[in-house]
Amino acid sequence: MARPKRLLIVDDDPGIVALIEQLAESLGFDVRPLGNAADLSGDCSAFLPDLIVLDLRMPGMDGAQALRILADSGSEAEIILFSGADARVLNSAARLGESHGLRIRGVLRKPVDLEDLESELKAFLGCSGSSLGDELRVAVSDGKIDVNYQPKIRLNDTGDWQVIGLEVLARWQHPTRGPVSPVEFIPIAEELGIIRDLTDLVLDQAIAESERLLGVGHRLQMAVNLSPLVLSDPKTPDRLASRIAKSAIEPQQIIVEITENAAMSEGVDAIESLTRFRLKGMELSMDDFGTAYSSLVQLYRMPFSELKIDKFLVLDIERSDEACVIVRSVVDLAHNLGLSVCAEGIETQPVLQYLRSIGCDHGQGFLISKPLTGEQLMRFLPRSAPNEAANIAAVMGRH
Ligand code: C2E
Ligand code: MG
Ligand code: MG
């Protein structure tokens, strides 16, 4: 029989430790509570936990120090960060952990919600180790990766929501765990070398949906996310172009989204692929702008047509004057470089109004619509788009 998974609970509140301990033991974990993080490194090497629940506020040591100690001790455990601090602090601690190379599994807010904790622990038991990867491999080879479409609108002054395109987002419904976030499964697909197959599944669905939409009068752009590994494969632009050529859609309808990090780190290969996408007629968007340190000169040299402002900056517009200044400057910068700008993560009316007031071109976010299935999309879009009829006739006539 496999040994029980080991859980280390690092928290100075005995009441919380007892609660988690009881719950985890009932699920079959081997639990070690640690009320004092003074010898966190020693405790980790002695116990070799598979999972650590880490309180970010311990007496004598804050979470940032604890993360550094875990990183220095070479911890391979997955880590759930746990704190009463606000969501931004938790998220930035999560990023800090990741930048140390730690495996941050998630964040939980105090006061503890036992149901959330239980599902986190069960999810860990169901999917830890290599089995999630094995299951993903099967899902990809069986074509069991779905996609959702998040509407993107034009932020014009009239106040009407005019949908101009859709972002295609991969979805995996795990048979026992339920939906798994792409933030979790895309890196696994990259690690396993199946990201190309996964991307093909996503693209095929996006192209089929575009054709279906054309058939009912909607000529919308489809934005697909490409991972750095797919970008650095020199065959990618041709593969994408040949899929498009076999369909009823035009290359201009496809926007390739590349994260700022990927575009900047892949050097010459990236520039070659990016240039070839544009030469083949596709649009290019720099995704999650504002999360990395890009050189503005690089941005100017790369053939992007759109810049997408990261949702963390957009979410901060209401809370922080600095975020407003950055977003406004990014919009100006992009326009001065001849790029259009899309803001992602619009959740409230004031943020939408602010973005309109500074001339941001396009937007997407939960305020407008969550990502939708193909069926939900049909209900979301207006029934007909008569002004597009001529376009469609022209496009269909080519095939
Ligand atoms: P992304 O490309 O930046 O996609 C936007 C993410 O923000 C999506 O998360 C979307 O659901 C979420 N989002 C949209 N509006 C809002 C909002 O108003 N508030 C908040 N808080 N979030 C919002 P999702 O679907 O979980 O995808 C996460 C990331 O996974 C994507 O970030 C993208 O980097 C990656 N991803 C998704 N599908 C694919 C894919 O097919 N291939 C690759 N390589 N990566 C993918
Ligand atoms: Mg994207
Ligand atoms: Mg993004």
Give dist(CA 54, CA 81) in Å, integer.
5
Which atom of ligand 1 sits closest to the CA of residue 259? 34
Considering every ligand atom shown, identify the ligand nearest to the alpha carbon of residue 223 and give its number: 2
Contacts of 281 (CB under 8 A, 6+ apart): 250, 251, 252
Q: Please tell me the distance between residue 114's alpha carbon and the centre of ligand 2 in angstroms.
A: 33
Dihedral angle, C-alpha 329, 331, 334, 335, nearest 10 °: -110
Alpha carbon of 335 to ligand 1 centroid (Å): 24
pLDDT band at 390 (very low <50, low <70, confident <90, very high): very low
CA of 150, nearest ligand number: 1
Closest ligand 1 atom, residue 190 Cα: 44
Query: What is the DSSP-derived secondary structure letter of residue 398?
Result: T
Q: What pLDDT is attached to residue 258?
A: 92
Give the residue whose CA is nearest to atom 22 of ligand 1: 345
**How many C-beta neighbours within 10 Å does residue 25 have?**
13
pLDDT in tens, 281-323: 999 999 988 876 666 777 788 899 999 999 999 999 999 999 9
If one compares 369 and 394, the residue with the highest pLDDT of the two is 369
The answer, yes or no, to whether residue 394 has pLDDT greater than 90, is no
Atom 42 in ligand 1: which residue has the minimum CA distance? 225
**Who contacts 135 (Cβ-Cβ below 8 Å, separation ≥6)?**
127, 174, 175
Residue 204 token pair: 């095929």
| Ligand number, closest to the Cα atom of 183 | 1
Mind listing the pLDDT tens digit for each residue in 61-78?
888 899 999 999 888 899
CA distance 44 to 193: 31
Using most ligand atoms within 8 A of CB, pick from 167, 225, 236 the residue to mutate for ligand 1: 225
Q: DSSP secondary-structure letter at 2?
A: P
Residue nearest to atom 2 of ligand 1 (CA): 225
For residue 97, give the nearest of 119, 124, 75 by alpha carbon. Answer: 75
Ligand 1 first shell, C-beta below 6 A: 150, 169-170, 181-183, 186, 199, 202, 225-227, 257, 287-288, 311, 344-347, 364-366, 371
Query: Rounded to the nearest whole angstrom, what is the distance from the C-alpha of residue 291 to the centroid of ligand 3?
Result: 10
Compute and round to an integer the Cα radius of gyration of the chain. 23
Asked if 50 contacts 84 with a C-beta cutoff of 8 angstroms, the reply is no
Q: Is the pLDDT assigned to residue 183 strictly greater than 60? A: yes
Q: Which residues pair with 8 in a beta bridge?
A: 32, 52
Measured in degrees and rounded to the nearest 5, phi and psi for residue 20 equal: -65, -40
Long-range contacts of 328-333 (CB under 8 A, 24+ apart): 328/358, 330/289, 330/290, 331/358, 331/359, 331/360, 333/296
Residue 110 DSSP label: S
For the domain made up of 145-396, give the CATH fold: TIM Barrel (3.20.20)
Q: What six digits make up the tokens of 47?
A: 């116990």
* Atom nearest to 371 CA in ligand 1: 11
Give the chain's length.
399
pLDDT at 60: 80
Res 399 pLDDT > 50: no
Instruction: Indicate which ligand has the atom closest to the C-alpha of 365.
Output: 1
What are the sequence ranges of the domains in the chain? 6-128, 145-396
- Distance, in Å, from the CA atom of 203 to the CA atom of 184, rounded to the nearest integer, reads 20
What pLDDT score does 270 carry? Answer: 78
Which residues, at least 6 apart from 389, have a Cβ–Cβ distance to it below 8 Å?
217
pLDDT of residue 229: 84
CB 169 within 8 A of CB 225: yes
Range 219-237 burial, b when 16+ CB lie within 10 A, else e:
bbbbbbbbbbbbbbbeebb
Q: What amino acid occupies position 59?
A: P
How far does the centroid of ligand 1 lie from the alpha carbon of residue 24, in Å? 31
CB 278 within 8 A of CB 303: yes
- Please report which residue ranges of the chain form alpha helices under DSSP H: 14-26, 40-47, 63-72, 87-99, 114-127, 131-141, 182-192, 195-215, 228-231, 236-245, 260-265, 267-279, 296-301, 311-315, 321-336, 349-357, 374-380, 389-397
The pTM assigned to this predicted structure is 0.71
* Confidence category of residue 132, pLDDT binned at 50, 70, 90: confident
Nearest residue (CA) to ligand 1, atom 45:
225
What CATH code would you report for 6-128? 3.40.50.2300
Which residues make beta-bridge pairs with 30?
6
| Residue 265: band (very low, low, confident or very high) from pLDDT cuts 50, 70, 90 | low
What per-residue confidence (pLDDT) applies to 105?
86
Q: How far apart (Å, rounded) are the C-alpha atoms in residues 44 and 351? A: 44
Residues 5-46: pLDDT tens digits? Answer: 899 999 988 988 999 999 999 888 999 999 887 888 888 888
Q: Which DSSP symbol is given to 180?
A: E
Q: What pLDDT band is residue 126 in, cutting at 50, 70 and 90?
A: low
3-class state of residue 371 by DSSP: coil
